[in-house]
Amino acid sequence: MPDYRKKKVNRLKGAFKPKKEKHRAVIIDEEIKMTPSKKTVRKSSKTEKEPESALKVVKGKKLERKRKTRIFLSSVAAVLIVFGVLHLILPVGIAENAGNLTALIGGGSYPIDLESNDTLSAVSRGMYYYVLTNTHINAYSDNGKQIYSYSHGYENPILKTSKTRALIFDQGGNEAVIYNLRTKKKTVKTDNDIITAAISDSGTYAVVTRSDKYASVVTVYDKHNKRLYEWSSSADTVNNVAVSPNGKKIAVSLFNASSGKFTSQISVLEYDSATPKYTETIDETLVFALDSFHNAGFSAVTGKGYGFYIWSDFKKIEYKSEYSPAFLRSGTGGTAVVFNRESDRTDNRIVLFSPKGKVKSEFDYKGTISDIEVSGGHIYCICDTSAYLLSDDGKVLRQADCGFGVTHIAPVGTNMLAAITDNGIQKIKLEGKGE
């Protein structure tokens, strides 16, 4: 090939003019031993431009893929955050909580017949309530739908509930059963007699038993029934237990009798040690009940009054009373405790505590109180043969006659109560003056 043509080729480096691209095309044609032509040159010119155009398309696709990846990762992060929040709000799991809500769907009606002759307790849980009788554990929606009814066969049944599950055990027996609103979750068998038990919102539960070696043993299980912790008391008997709502701590009350006098103790335990994180000794009285309905802390009712203990730092808010404790009921508006005189059960003092243990109100109330409930900042009670809706200061806002035999109540709507007897449930409306 002539030298002058090669020199022209040397001057084409990096050029994009059509004329220069033509020369570049000639070189290519020479290398593959083809005769150059104008047509070939024009085609080669297009060939040079097509990779540039193709590169732009690829770049666009990469940007689009990056954008879609960012959207996907953001969506995943959002879903994880939602699931994290739901896990905190619904600690037993989304599926179980969804199942509980599904169980509430459907209609029902009042009155309701109970397969028993003795109603032992009733617990309201917002849109539904439990009724424990001497033969059955029942759950009903507020509209009267029977969610379930199980025969327990226990000689001395005791009902404990959380916001998500119910636990029933045979006090002095060897069995406890856990339910949600859909099914029986677990049957617990023990080698020794059960003293007491408790269950938390997280599904974690504790069972207290007697022992051949110890005065009592506390065993804690998670929501999957895996044993988390075991704690033994060699000398003192555990008579109450409460599990924190998140299931990470327990509170126990213990007692011992010496020289005809009781000495009680309240201890808080975490699962990393047998040494209590907090201990308080209460002389010459028993702890009658522990309750952990509210997230901030747990309630303790003693023969000397009421105490509220903060889970995080164990600070105590105390209320002292010369009256004896009769009832403790916790609800969305706080905790109500009824104290009365042992010599006169019609002489009552009702104290309403906030969810953080502070006194919201207290007032005297005359009459024989059968049951009391707290809902939406109001107090409901059965006194003698009537049902009442009370204000914080004890004023009667609404009332209704319910006849003899009503032993327990459950709020089932605005100004509505389920009035529970030994063999049935009726729905009553509380009315104000002038209605």
What pLDDT is recorded for position 56? 52
HSE-CB for 175 with a 13 A CA cutoff? 9
What pLDDT is recorded for position 262? 86
pLDDT at 335 over 80: yes
| Distance of alpha carbon 298 from alpha carbon 46, whole angstroms | 82
Residue 216 contacts residue 231 (beta carbons within 8 Å): no
Helix (H) or strand (E) run with residue 386 in it: strand 386-390
Percent of the chain whose pLDDT exceeds 90? 66
Beta bridge pairs of residue 258:
261
* DSSP E strand stretches across 203-323: 205-209, 216-221, 227-233, 237-243, 249-258, 261-270, 278-283, 287-291, 297-302, 305-310, 316-320
Residue 358 contacts residue 317 (beta carbons within 8 Å): yes
Identify the band that residue 333 occupies on the pLDDT scale cut at 50, 70 and 90.
confident
Collapsing DSSP to helix, strand or coil, 350 comes out as: strand
What pLDDT is recorded for position 77? 61
Which is more confident, 4 or 433? 433
CATH tag, 190-320:
2.130.10.10
What pLDDT is recorded for position 40? 45
Question: pLDDT digits over 24-63, tens only?
Answer: 444 344 444 444 444 444 444 444 445 554 545 555 666 7
Question: pLDDT digits over 337-370, tens only?
Answer: 999 998 899 999 999 999 999 999 999 999 999 9
Token pair 């009035």 is found at 419
What pLDDT is recorded for position 29? 44
What pLDDT is recorded for position 71? 74
316-322 — which CB contacts under 8 Å span 24+ positions? 316/280, 317/356, 317/357, 317/358, 319/351, 319/353, 319/359, 321/349, 321/351
Question: pLDDT digits over 302-321, tens only?
Answer: 999 999 999 999 999 999 99
Structure tokens at 123: 């617990």
Percent of the chain whose pLDDT exceeds 70? 80
pLDDT at 67 over 80: no
User: Span 57-84, mean pLDDT?
Assistant: 62
Other Cβ atoms less than 10 A from the Cβ of 218: the count is 23
What pLDDT is recorded for position 176? 97
Question: pLDDT digits over 138-173, tens only?
Answer: 999 999 999 999 999 999 999 999 988 999 999 999
Report the side by side order of strands in the sheet with 334-341: 324-331, 334-341, 344-353, 359-366
Question: pLDDT digits over 282-297, tens only?
Answer: 999 999 999 999 999 9
CA angle 156, 145, 149 (to 5 degrees): 30
Collapsing DSSP to helix, strand or coil, 198 comes out as: strand
Q: What are phi and psi of 80, to 5 degrees?
A: -65, -40
pLDDT at 271 over 50: yes
| Distance of alpha carbon 200 from alpha carbon 20, whole angstroms | 83
Structure tokens at 237: 């008997």
pLDDT at 130 over 50: yes
Nearest to 277 by CA among 248, 299, 308, 256: 248
Rounded to 10°, the helix 38-89/18-31 angle is 100
How much helix, strand and coil, in percent to the nearest 5, is found in the chain? 20, 45, 35
Nearest to 87 by CA among 203, 6, 167, 198: 203
Question: pLDDT digits over 385-430, tens only?
Answer: 999 999 888 899 999 999 889 999 999 988 999 999 999 999 999 9
Identify the band that residue 76 occupies on the pLDDT scale cut at 50, 70 and 90.
low
pLDDT at 247 over 60: yes
pLDDT at 332 over 80: yes
What pLDDT is recorded for position 424? 96
Q: Are strands 278-283 and 261-270 parallel, antiparallel or unpaired?
A: antiparallel
Structure tokens at 338: 């009824």
Question: pLDDT digits over 219-236, tens only?
Answer: 999 999 999 999 999 999
List all residues 6 or more positions away from 424 whose beta carbon is below 8 Å from its beta carbon: 111, 112, 113, 114
Structure tokens at 225: 């029934």
Which is more confident, 333 or 230? 230
User: Span 241-270, mean pLDDT?
Assistant: 94
pLDDT at 240 over 80: yes
| Distance of alpha carbon 24 from alpha carbon 49, whole angstroms | 13
Beta bridge pairs of residue 397:
none
Identify residue 8 by its one-letter amino acid code: K
What pLDDT is recorded for position 215? 95
